[in-house]
Amino acid sequence: MGDIRFNERAWLAWLVKVRVIVISILLAVELLIAKLTPNNVNVRFFETVIVAWFIVSFFFMLLASLWQESKRQAIVQIFTDLAFITALVYVTGGIDTFFNFLYPLAIIVASILLPRYWAYVTAAVSFICFGALLELSYFERIPSFQYSARGDLKSLQVVIIINFCAYLAVAHLSSSLSSKLRQAGVELRDKSGELLSLQALHENVIHSIRSALITTDLEGRITLMNAPGQKVLERTASSVYGRHISELFLDALPNIDSLSVQCEVRGLTPSGLEKTFDVNVTALIVPEQGTIGYVYTFEDRTELRRLEGEVRRRDRLAAVGRLAAGIAHEIRNPLASIAGSINVLAEVTPFNEEQKTLVNIITRESTRLNAIISDFLVYSREKSFKFSRMDLVPLIEDALVLLANRSQTKDLTIVRDYAVPNAYAAVDADRIKQVLWNLLENAVRAMQGKGTITVSVRAAGDFLRIGIRDTGPGIAPNLTEKIFEPFQSQFEGGTGLGLAIVYQIVQAHGARIFAQSTLGSGAEFILEILHARAASAEPDVEPVNQEVSHG
């Protein structure tokens, strides 16, 4: 009933507007006829009827917005129109008027707005009004505006009967047609409802599948992107519709030579994050139309590729660790003998300046080589970790205070950006201090003691995120992923094992560390460690105050 009532109100609004247009046309036509042809029309009376009809029409326009009873409104408007039509027919000559065509119009409107029997009722009322008007004028019961000579009674009766039959025929035809139109409208609404339901089901299926999905036309212009695709690409559907799909990826997509093609490409999100996607391209084929486009299904493999790289890095670090354990002791003892022999020789034998320079070089390089071997031993030796619930903020502060009091950091600015007052985690305090100090020391060396170090602490879900950013020259992209491998130091005199040891300690804590850098804009090392509350909820996390041996 809600849809039918809405249609009736729409037809009523249409009727009010059309009525005003028709009245305006009638006024113009009749005034033109009155001036160009001989007639007995009382122009003032005619204008009065038209003005009154205008006023009533505007009243109906206002009433339509206030009165919700559409059927009663339709009845009132139709029979009001019949009254004005009768007055108009009377003032324009009765039997001589050509405005009697307005009666069939009222009958047609009644068949559209009201049930079928109302069309016959309107036809009957129209016949009564027209017939009574003609007979009263013929028998001179009312003044007549007829221009032609009065005919005989039989001719008058023939005109009345013809109009009666015409009104009945119009009522029958218009009501039948209106009934069929209403039935077709109901069927159309049903089909539209089914179509909308099918469309909603299609959209729900598309947006509910786990894989990200994009469809394009034959030219590669995007026509659809489901909800997982919007989430993975971090883009809204409206922002990509009509764009070429190649604009979303950094690598070129393959040409489709067969029904399906699979490849791996990189993409860049609006936030600047680079992701790796596994893309499967399939031709979109419709029966009897052939290929009308392409379907791209893709999955985010960024985290998987990162984990694979981390596994490879662990394997390399483990291999280097085993190698270090095997050769460190073999090198250290002969090295100590060489350094000791040189020192004894320098004491018992006088050297000239050139010889003293060579001895100093041997001593210095022996010391450096001994430092490398010592780091090797630290790296390869089994470590014992004693975990306890600690606040990381005081540990960070201890490292920053120590850094600020070094003599070579006078031109250094330290910025603290703590988003949380406390950062509790299950850690080995001494080992975490070692991690922090190594990262800070690297930042200072990267900036050559001049610049700004920003230390931030954030909460990221179940993790605490500690960032150490410098304003140095940055790290080359090809070194970012392997910077935690041994012998990757870019500093003069470095052993290249500091960050490898940091990575080892972080792994022992079940944490994650990675570097982000842009050449010329500094670098940031980010440590993500499980929050103490989250760690206590994990069944596989070692309880605090327990010594853990890590090799």
- pLDDT tier at 5 (50, 70, 90 boundaries)? very low
How much is the average pLDDT of 442-465? 89
Residue recorded with tokens 């050449």: 519
- In whole angstroms, what separates CA 12 from the centre of its chain? 41
3-class secondary-structure state, position 395? helix
Angle between helices 70-91 and 102-113 (to 10 degrees): 180
Q: Which one is predicted more confidently, 282 or 67?
A: 282
In angstroms, the CA 380 to CA 89 distance is: 113
How much is the average pLDDT of 400-420? 82
- CA geometry: angle at 139 spanning 133 and 142, to 5°? 55
Mean pLDDT check: name the lowest of 149-153, 212-216, 386-390, 425-429.
149-153
Return the DSSP state at 382.
Answer: -
CB 91 within 8 A of CB 34: no
User: 102 is written with which tokens?
Assistant: 């307005």
Q: Read out DSSP for 165-179?
A: HHHHHHHHHHHHHHH
**Helix (H) or strand (E) segment spanning residue 530:** strand 523-530
- For residue 260, with 0-12 CB atoms within 10 Å meaning exposed, 13-18 middle and 19 or more buried, which class applies? exposed
Q: Which residues contact 127 (CB under 8 A, 6 or more apart)?
A: 160, 163, 164, 167
- For residue 172, with 0-12 CB atoms within 10 Å meaning exposed, 13-18 middle and 19 or more buried, which class applies? middle
- For residue 273, with 0-12 CB atoms within 10 Å meaning exposed, 13-18 middle and 19 or more buried, which class applies? exposed
**Taking 60 as the threshold, does the pLDDT of residue 175 lie above it?**
yes
CB 275 within 8 A of CB 266: yes
Give the per-residue pLDDT at 491. 60
SS (H, E, C) 262-286: EEEEEEECCCCCEEEEEEEEEEEEE
How much is the average pLDDT of 455-464? 90
How much is the average pLDDT of 84-105? 78
Mean pLDDT check: name the lowest of 396-405, 430-439, 440-449, 476-485.
476-485
- Where is mean pLDDT largest: 129-138, 183-192, 247-256, 464-473? 464-473
In angstroms, the CA 85 to CA 88 distance is: 5
In angstroms, the CA 103 to CA 82 distance is: 7
In angstroms, the CA 484 to CA 317 distance is: 9
Edge-to-edge strand list for the sheet holding 463-469: 412-418, 451-460, 463-469, 523-530, 512-517
- pLDDT tier at 41 (50, 70, 90 boundaries)? low
**Taking 50 as the threshold, does the pLDDT of residue 389 lie above it?**
yes
Q: Which one is predicted more confidently, 422 or 64?
A: 422
Model confidence over 280-295: pLDDT tens digits? 888 888 887 788 888 8
**Taking 60 as the threshold, does the pLDDT of residue 2 lie above it?**
no
How much is the average pLDDT of 57-73? 75
**Taking 60 as the threshold, does the pLDDT of residue 410 lie above it?**
yes
**Taking 50 as the threshold, does the pLDDT of residue 549 lie above it?**
no
pTM, two decimal places = 0.41
Going along the chain from its start, the domains and CATH numbers come out as 2-189 (no CATH), 212-300 (3.30.450.20), 307-381 (1.10.287), 384-550 (3.30.565.10)
CB 400 within 8 A of CB 433: no
- pLDDT tier at 146 (50, 70, 90 boundaries)? low
Give the per-residue pLDDT at 3. 39
Give the per-residue pLDDT at 453. 92
In angstroms, the CA 340 to CA 285 distance is: 82
What does DSSP say about strands 523-530 and 274-286: parallel, antiparallel, or unpaired?
A: unpaired
CA nearest to 150, candidates 162, 163, 161, 140? 140
Q: Which residues contact 73 (CB under 8 A, 6 or more apart)?
A: 12, 60, 63, 64, 67
Model confidence over 337-386: pLDDT tens digits? 777 777 777 776 777 777 777 777 777 777 777 777 776 666 666 567 78
Q: Which one is predicted more confidently, 62 or 457?
A: 457
CB 370 within 8 A of CB 405: no
Give the per-residue pLDDT at 9. 64
**Taking 90 as the threshold, does the pLDDT of residue 526 lie above it?**
yes
CB 471 within 8 A of CB 446: no
What percent of the chain is modeled with pLDDT above 70?
80
